[in-house]
Amino acid sequence: MAIFNSPQPSTPKRDNGPAAPNAPSESALPKEPARDEFSFGAPKPAAAPSPTPSPTSTPRPAEREGKESVIAADLSIEGKINGAGHIRIAGRFKGDVHVEGDLTVEVGAKVNGGVRARKVVIAGELEGNVESAQRVELLEGGVVVGDIKAGVVSIAPGSRMRGQVDFGFDDRDAKSAGKQDNKADKGSDKSDKAEAKSEASATS
């Protein structure tokens, strides 16, 4: 005898409403506030460090030597020059030149007057005295009519000069030499007077 089990009626599933959306997973990072929200006491996100510009080394200006003033070849000036720079004369100048720098008289130039400079280079013509110079260079073809007083004097072949030259002595040596010359002159005067007296007594 066969027994067949009758199928049980399936129970309808209950509708519990719409399925709840999946809950977002919580993150360990702090939540950034929206644009329309304000947070007080919440830690602000760390800003990216701005790149610092590398310091650029500014080049220092090179030390310039004393400026040089030039009197051109087509100029003729009369007056007096005082200054601390260098002077280059290519034309004609009449007057005294007193500078703390160097004086250069080029070929074809002419200077009439006294000169005081640290260094004097003469390739042209100078009519006047050179006083208290550290160095004087008389180049080939240069002409000097006057006295020169300097620490060092260099005279090239082919140059011409008319006057006295005093070099290698400082002021103290020059003063002592002058005193010795004066003493010698006074001694010679005294001896001459003594000789004259002896001749007068002999004739009497």
Query: Mean pLDDT, the chain, as a whole number?
Result: 74
Nearest CA to 116 out of 68, 142, 149, 88 is that of: 149
Summarize the confidence of residues 152-180 as an average pLDDT: 79
- Whether the CB-CB separation of 41 and 57 falls below 8 Å is answered with no
What's the pLDDT score for residue 32? 56
DSSP string, 139-191: -TT-EEES-EEEEEEEE-TT-EEES-EEES--HHHHHHHHHHHHHHHHHHHHH
What's the pLDDT score for residue 109? 97
Summarize the confidence of residues 180-200 as an average pLDDT: 56
Chain segment 35-64, per-residue pLDDT in tens: 555 454 555 555 555 655 554 444 444 334
Position 70 pLDDT exceeds 70 = yes
Better-predicted residue by pLDDT, 91 or 22: 91
Share of the chain above pLDDT 90, in %: 48
Length of the chain: 204
Position 97 pLDDT exceeds 80 = yes
Amino acid, res. 59: P
Summarize the confidence of residues 80-100 as an average pLDDT: 95
Model pTM score: 0.54
Position 67 pLDDT exceeds 60 = yes
